[in-house]
Amino acid sequence: EVWIPERYAEIIGRVYASGNLPRQPCLSVAARRESPSRLELELNPRRGLLRISVVEAGGDLGLRVQEIVQQSTAEIAQVDFPMDDPAIGNSVEAVREAGFWFCAVLPEWRQGDWLRVQRAVATHKAFSRPNLANDTAKQILAFIESDGALISPL
């Protein structure tokens, strides 16, 4: 059983189906805890990447992520959510307000399934579009681009 944000239900279902992964996705409707968020940070300066792993999403999640990203020198920031959290939908919406959009589903990673969202911090850098041969990969990329286009520049 995995919890999924309603916003990403279709694309997550497509990823699980293409990988023949037996999952029972449940739409996330729970509220985040009021306690402070617990986050793990990993900065890779060579890649210009900041990865934030959500250990426990609290009421301050969006604000904490926004503050961390603003203090970072990374060009790309990613937030990883464990998909065993029934409040994942609310948590994803909190970081979307900080400029994050869909990046990937990571099945069977770090002892479970994870959802990754991302944000390009350095707006001046041009990112090249990968040349994909697989139709599923092309559909996922199209979804990522359309989801990112819905985010207002910060």
pLDDT digits (tens, 9 = 90+) for 30-78: 888 889 999 999 999 999 899 999 999 999 999 999 999 999 989 899 9
Question: Could you tell me if 60 and 89 are in contact, meaning their C-beta atoms sit under 8 angstroms apart?
Answer: no
The string of DSSP letters for 105-127 reads: EETT-SSS-EEEEEEES-TTS--
Whole-model pTM? 0.84
Phi, psi of 9 (to 5 degrees): -60, -45
Relative orientation angle of helices 61-71 and 88-96, to the nearest 10 degrees: 40
pLDDT in tens, 1-25: 899 999 999 999 988 888 888 888 8
